[in-house]
Structure 1
Amino acid sequence: MNSATSIVIGLAVLAWVLWRQVQQRLVREDRKPTVVLILAVLGVVALAAFFKSGSPSATAIALLAGSLLVAVLFGVVRVYTVRLWRADSQLWRQGTWLTVVLWIAAIAIHLGLDFVIDANSPVKGLGNASILLYLAVTLGAQRLVVQQRANRQEQTA
C-alpha cells in the first residue's frame, strides 16, 4: 500500500470515526472490535510494506513508538468527554464537541510527528505508513476505556 493510499484511507476512516463519535449509540459489551482489528491489520500491512522499502533510523522508530503512546493517551482522555446515560434499561454513549476536538488534536500531533520522523530518517514516509495503525491504537484504547467506564456505571446502577 503506497503512502497516498494510506493517507486517503486514513482520512476517510477519520471522517467516519468523527461522525460516529457524535452519534448516540448503544454501549454493547458483546460487540466485537471488528473495525479496530481491520484497521490494525491494514496498519501492520502498511508498515510491513514500508519496512520492505528500507530501514528507518532508530530515532524514527522511537518517535513512531512515542506517537503510538500519544494515540493511547488521547484515546483514554477522550473517554471522559463521552456522555454515558441510561434510557429504557439500556446504556447509551455519545461523544461531545470536545471529543471531536481531541480527535483532531491527536491526528495533528501524529502528522506533526510525521515531519519529525521524516527529518530523522533516511527513509521517508514512516509516519504516513503508520496512520492506520495509529487510528487502530487510539480507537482501541478509547473503546476499552469506554467499556470499563460503562461497566462501572452498570455496577453502580
Structure 2
Amino acid sequence: MSNTVNILIGLVVLARLCWRQTQKRLVREDRKPTVLLILAVLGVVSLASFFKGGTPGTPAVLLLIGSLIVAALFGLVRAYTVRLWRADGQLWRQGTWLTVALWVAAIAIHIGLDFVIDANSPAKGLGSASILLYLAVSLGAQRVVVQSRANHVVAA
C-alpha cells in the first residue's frame, strides 16, 4: 500500500476508534477483538510489503520498535481514562475527552516519529507503513488493561 493510503486508513480508523470509545458500551468478556485483529493483520501485511521493497536500516528499525513501545505505553495510560461503572446489573465503559486527547497525542507522536524514521532510513515510508500496526498495539494494550480493570469491578 502507498504511504498516503496507509495514512488515510490510519486516520479513518483513528476517527472511528475515538468515536466508539466515547460511546457508552457494555463490557463483555466474550467479545472477540475483531477490529484489533484486523488492524494487526493489515499492519503486518503493510510492513511485510514495505520490507519487500527495501531495507530501512538499523536506526530506522530501532525507531520503529521505539514507536511501537510508545503505542503500548499510550494504550496503558489511556485505559485508566476509561470510566467503568455498574448499572442494572451490567458493567459499562466509556472513554472520556482525555481518552480521545491521548489517542490524538499518540498519533501525533507516531507521525513525528515517521519523519525521524524517514530521515534515518534509505527506504522511505516505514513510519506510515506501520501506522495500522501502531494502532493495533495501542488498542491492544488499552483493551488488556480495561478488561483487567473491569474484572476487578466485577469482583468488587
TM-score range for the pair, normalised by the shorter chain length: over 0.9
Please state if 1:27 is matched with 2:27: yes
Unaligned runs of 5+ in 1: none
User: In 1, Cα distance between the equivalents of 2:143 and 2:119?
Assistant: 33
User: In 1, Cα distance between the equivalents of 2:98 and 2:2?
Assistant: 33
1:138 corresponding residue in structure 2: 138
Q: Quick one: percent identity of the two aligned structures?
A: 74
Deviation at 1:126, TM superposition (A): 0.2
2:38 corresponding residue in structure 1: 38
Deviation at 1:87, TM superposition (A): 0.4
1:104-149 deviations in Å (ceiling 9; x for gaps)? 0100110010010000000100000000000000001101110000
May I ask how many residue pairs the two structures share in their alignment? Answer: 156
User: In 2, Cα distance between the equivalents of 1:40 and 1:2?
Assistant: 18
- Secondary structure at the residue paired with 2:64? helix
Unaligned runs of 5+ in 2: none
User: In 2, Cα distance between the equivalents of 1:119 and 1:5?
Assistant: 20
The one-letter code matched in structure 2 to 1:144 is V
1:69-124 deviations in Å (ceiling 9; x for gaps)? 00000000001111000001000000000111100010011001001000000010
User: In 2, Cα distance between the equivalents of 1:103 and 1:5?
Assistant: 20
Q: What TM-score comes out, normalization by structure 2 length?
A: 0.99
1:82 corresponding residue in structure 2: 82
User: In 1, Cα distance between the equivalents of 2:31 and 2:108?
Assistant: 29
- Secondary structure at the residue paired with 1:30? coil
The one-letter code matched in structure 1 to 2:57 is S
2:68 corresponding residue in structure 1: 68
- Secondary structure at the residue paired with 2:52? helix
User: In 2, Cα distance between the equivalents of 1:148 and 1:93?
Assistant: 13
Displaced runs of 4+ in structure 1, greater than 6 A? none
The one-letter code matched in structure 2 to 1:109 is I
User: In 2, Cα distance between the equivalents of 1:83 and 1:29?
Assistant: 17
1:113 corresponding residue in structure 2: 113
The one-letter code matched in structure 1 to 2:149 is R
